[in-house]
């Protein structure tokens, strides 16, 4: 996985641009309304989803597997953000308790034990009353079923990446014990831009009891 993402960022650089995902904007608004100031973003990339949080005065810490992506983030943000270099499977990288966690389009790249560990690790680093929001690909997206089947709702793409597609049962099974508040399917981006269609994701919101 390290080699795949390092190669991707090295070759394609800021491949998604710097406009944040719509779900990042929505989550930043939720966190601001709840007074959440310290935010952890596992799967930070080059930081395009950090801006909605930093623009509202939040302190953001990232975790990113690609050194090239971290370098690109520092070119854009300078030293304003702390980014731990490593895989989310090796969490925790610090002993802090965060007000909020935002994890975008990452968890479906992991196998079942890795997904379970990521959710548990993020929840463990939440302070009481904190929120975590995961955005995960849905079985109702157009790409579902493409590639080589590797298990239930799991397919290996032509790029050699295995994706796990979530349905409502999988969301409940994996997040139900972690203060699951809401799970809704969203289009990302919300409005299709250009010829490439939007993808269908689950936006999963959990809260740790105060």
Condensed to tens digits (0 to 9), the pLDDT of residues 74-100 reads: 888 877 789 999 999 999 999 999 999
Q: Which secondary structure element, helix H or strand E, spans residue 133, and what is its range?
A: strand 126-137
Residue 175, number of CB atoms within 10 A of its CB: 24
What fold, for 1-13+20-208? Rossmann fold (3.40.50)
Q: If you average pLDDT over residues 47-63, what whole number do you get?
A: 95
Q: What pLDDT is attached to residue 183? A: 98
Task: Give residues with Cβ within 8 angstroms of 136, minimum separation 6.
Answer: 105, 107, 108, 166, 171, 201, 202, 204
Map out the domains of the chain as residue ranges.
1-13+20-208
**Do the beta carbons of residue 179 and residue 206 sit within 8 Å?**
yes
List the helix and strand counts (H, then E) for the chain. 6, 10
Residue 62, classified by CB atoms within 10 Å of its CB into exposed (0-12), middle (13-18) or buried (19+), is buried
Measured CA to CA, the distance from residue 71 to residue 172 in angstroms comes to 37
Q: What is the pLDDT of residues 149-168, one digit of tens each?
A: 999 999 999 888 899 999 99
Tokens in use for 103? 């994890």
Tokens in use for 134? 């995961």
Q: What is the pLDDT of residues 7-52, one digit of tens each?
A: 776 777 675 777 899 999 999 999 999 999 999 999 999 899 999 9
Question: Which string of DSSP letters, residue by residue, matches 176-199?
Answer: TTTTEEEEEEEEESSS--SSSPPE
**Do the beta carbons of residue 122 and residue 177 sit within 8 Å?**
no
């Amino acid at each position: 996985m390290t080699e795949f993402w390092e190669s991707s960022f090295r070759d394609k650089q800021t491949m998604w641009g710097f406009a944040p995902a719509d779900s990042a904007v929505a989550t930043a608004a939720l966190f601001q309304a709840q007074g959440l100031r310290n935010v952890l973003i596992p799967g930070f990339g080059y930081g395009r989803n950090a801006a909605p949080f930093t623009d509202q005065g939040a302190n953001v810490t990232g975790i990113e597997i690609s050194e090239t992506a971290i370098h690109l983030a520092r070119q854009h943000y300078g030293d304003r953000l702390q980014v731990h270099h490593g895989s989310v499977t090796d969490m925790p990288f610090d002993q802090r308790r965060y007000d909020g966690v935002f994890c975008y389009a990452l968890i479906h790249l992991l196998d079942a034990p890795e997904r379970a560990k990521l959710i548990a690790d993020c929840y463990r680093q939440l302070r009481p009353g904190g929120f975590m929001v995961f955005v995960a690909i849905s079985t109702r997206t157009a790409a579902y079923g493409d590639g080589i089947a590797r298990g239930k709702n799991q397919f290996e793409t032509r790029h050699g990446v295995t994706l796990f597609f979530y349905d409502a049962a999988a969301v409940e099974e994996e997040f139900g014990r972690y203060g699951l508040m809401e799970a809704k399917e969203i289009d990302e981006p919300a409005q299709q831009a250009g010829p490439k269609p939007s993808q269908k994701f689950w936006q999963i919101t959990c809260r740790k009891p105060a």
